[in-house]
Amino acid sequence: MYRYDDYDRALVKARVDQFRDQTARWQAGELGDEEFRPLRLQNGLYMQRHAPMLRIAVPYAMISAAQLRVLAAIAREEDKGYAHFTTRHNLQYNWIPMARVPEVLARLAEVEMHAIQTSGNCIRNVTSDQFSGIAPDEVVDTRPLAEIIRQWSTFHPEFAFLPRKFKIAVHGAERDRAVVQVHDIGLHLYRDDKGEVLARVWVGGGLGRTPILGEIIHEGLPWRHLLSYMEAIIRVYNLEGRRDNPYKARIKILVKALGIEEFRRKVDAEWASLKDGPATITDAELARVSAYFTAPAYAQLPDTDADYEARLASDKAFARWVQQNVHAHRVPGYRAVTLSLKAKGQAPGDITDTQMDAVADLADAYSFGELRSSHEQNLVLSDVELRKLPELFDKAKALKLASSTVGLLTDIICCPGGDFCDLANAKSIPIAKAIMERFDDLDYLHDIGELDLNISGCMNACGHHHVGHIGVLGVDKNDEEWYQVTIGGRQGNDTRLGKVIGPSFAAADMPDVVTKLLETYVSLREPEERFVETVVRVGLDPFKLSVYGESARDRANKKKEAENG
């Protein structure tokens, strides 16, 4: 993975010094709360319900065992012994006192980590595919260009005070695992028939209050023009994006207001003078950064193993884990393994300090000391020998990191919600926990099959509820927490936004609602048909009927009785 050179190190250290100074000036009253606010946000520091929340960047999902150990130590010594992986690869602490943050950032800088631009109205941490560099369907390894984008966007002088946050995602495989269409800029890297890397550029996607899928603004952009082209997009946005209403300030609103044709015309006019200018990425720079992402020293292995096969045949639990949590790898004899952070009773994405230490040990022992964080809020050991899978399973199970549910109903994506977040309208973790409690029968979960259940505690949609096969959105009605349900959303190449099935529900009803949705699916599904495909085929009505039918009938009956006196 990328390692800092003297330049990176000096910049991150300067950032720590700068933030230490800013914090001191704020404490001394030289900086007002309002003036300090964007400065702390651009260092990942929010004021939350109970305490500050500090969000650490995990650029394009890559994290080393050494880094994870420091994250564990910080959780233990500065926080309450746990941390939370987000839907954008990042890691959040919830209880670090404000005054300690500069020290924590200094400690992170020593292992080449930071919290730069993990919040605020600026270019955020670039996200990507957690299987970059190893996926069999990968066409372009996104990591070198993602790192180049990270550096370009870091302390960008012109784009530190955009109308609103700005998220860039990049994928380079046949299957999009980075949900690029719901980002302000989504990049799909591919190759032309000469092998040259090109980008399909999507713009104006985003979830939140007004969910919109991005539109293609440029097809076939050669990789060397990525920075200058994005500079043109963001300059037009910076100048013309709305600043009168934060809910209308994302680039998606501007693109919709102008129309993609007009927006493209403006971007092209801006780009005309930038194209082939100094921002053009050089072959030497791509080669320099790519050299950090060479393949590890893989052993020459057969793509099978007798002990592995024997365990697979004899141990149903292991077989299930392999089926759900073990992923194909481009190198024979290797697999990628998802360590699930979705054990029953656990807040999705949460991990304790001891688990982090143990995962770091697993990464050292089984995966060349590197791992990934997925936007589904799990961890991935990217390069595990097939023959080591049985022992890894046993160890992961002992650590409660082997729930064989990756991609299933209880692999819930869930924001921290009202338990922690100041923005939330409703709690989300208790909903996730209640659903995990209800559906803990693995046979049933496997029978239901692939199902993305995503929960957000408010319109900001950190839990990506719009693209869940089942999406749950917490809403506030007269100071009560209610939950609106959507179905039919999906991520991937055919990203779609889910549709609302009807009036919202009380928290206590949510497991029943999910049960009814699943019963409907089971009764209607055709062989090999996933939940979301059944929704597409039969439409919303059968699901609505099963969920609302009875109560609607009850209401109708009561009305009738009342009328009959």
Partner 1 sequence: MAEILKNGQVHSDNWQVLHLEADTDPAAQTVAPGQWLVPFNVWVAQRDAFKTRAGEIGVWLSATDDLNAVAAEFAAWPLVAIDFPKFTDGRGYSIAWRLRNHHKYTGELRAIGNVLVDQLFFMLRVGFDTLALDPKVSTEIALKHLTPFPDTYQGSTDNPEPLFRQVDRVLGGARS
Q: Which residues of this chain interact with partner 1, rule CB under 8 A? A: 3, 5-7, 10-11, 14-15, 17-18, 21-22, 25, 30-31, 35, 38-39, 121, 151-163, 227, 235, 238-239, 243, 273, 277-279, 281-282, 284-285, 288, 291-292
* Strand, coil or helix: 91: strand
The per-residue DSSP string of 353-387 comes to HHHHHHHHHHHHHHSTTEEEE-TTS-EEEEEEEGG
Burial class of residue 73, CB neighbours in 10 A (0-12, 13-18, 19+):
middle
Backbone angles phi, psi at 263, to 5 degrees: -60, -45
Q: Which is nearer to partner 1, 21 or 309 (CB)?
A: 21
Name the amino acid, one letter, at 23: T
Q: Which is nearer to partner 1, 279 or 536 (CB)?
A: 279
Q: Which is nearer to partner 1, 240 or 440 (CB)?
A: 240
**In the numeric block, which tokens belong to residue 53?**
């929340």
DSSP label of 138: B
**Pairing verdict, β 350-352 and 480-487:** unpaired
Least separation in angstroms between CB 115 and partner 1: 16
How many C-beta atoms surround the C-beta of residue 551 within 10 A? 11
Least separation in angstroms between CB 6 and partner 1: 4
Task: Give the up-direction half-sphere exposure of residue 512: CA atoms within 13 A in the CB hemisphere.
Answer: 10
**Pairing verdict, β 82-85 and 62-64:** unpaired
Q: Which is nearer to partner 1, 253 or 448 (CB)?
A: 253
Q: Which is nearer to partner 1, 184 or 357 (CB)?
A: 184
In sequence order, the 6+-apart residues with CB closer than 8 A to the CB of 331 are 134, 295, 298, 383
Least separation in angstroms between CB 105 and partner 1: 14
Q: Which is nearer to partner 1, 133 or 463 (CB)?
A: 133
**Alpha-carbon gap, residue 246 to 264, rounded angstroms:** 23
- Report the largest interatomic distance among the alpha carbons of the chain, rounded to a whole angstrom: 85
Q: Which is nearer to partner 1, 36 or 298 (CB)?
A: 36
**Alpha-carbon gap, residue 19 to 28, rounded angstroms:** 14
Least separation in angstroms between CB 385 and partner 1: 28
Least separation in angstroms between CB 153 and partner 1: 8
DSSP label of 195: -
Q: Which is nearer to partner 1, 155 or 298 (CB)?
A: 155
Least separation in angstroms between CB 157 and partner 1: 4
Q: Could you tell me if 144 and 59 are in contact, meaning their C-beta atoms sit under 8 angstroms apart?
A: no
Q: Which is nearer to partner 1, 168 or 227 (CB)?
A: 227
Q: Which is nearer to partner 1, 111 or 331 (CB)?
A: 111
Least separation in angstroms between CB 7 and partner 1: 5
Least separation in angstroms between CB 480 and partner 1: 34
**Alpha-carbon gap, residue 537 to 525, rounded angstroms:** 9
Backbone angles phi, psi at 38, to 5 degrees: -65, -25
**Alpha-carbon gap, residue 397 to 307, rounded angstroms:** 18
**In the numeric block, which tokens belong to residue 362?**
């697993």
Least separation in angstroms between CB 142 and partner 1: 18
Least separation in angstroms between CB 109 and partner 1: 14
Run of H or E residues at 413: strand 413-414
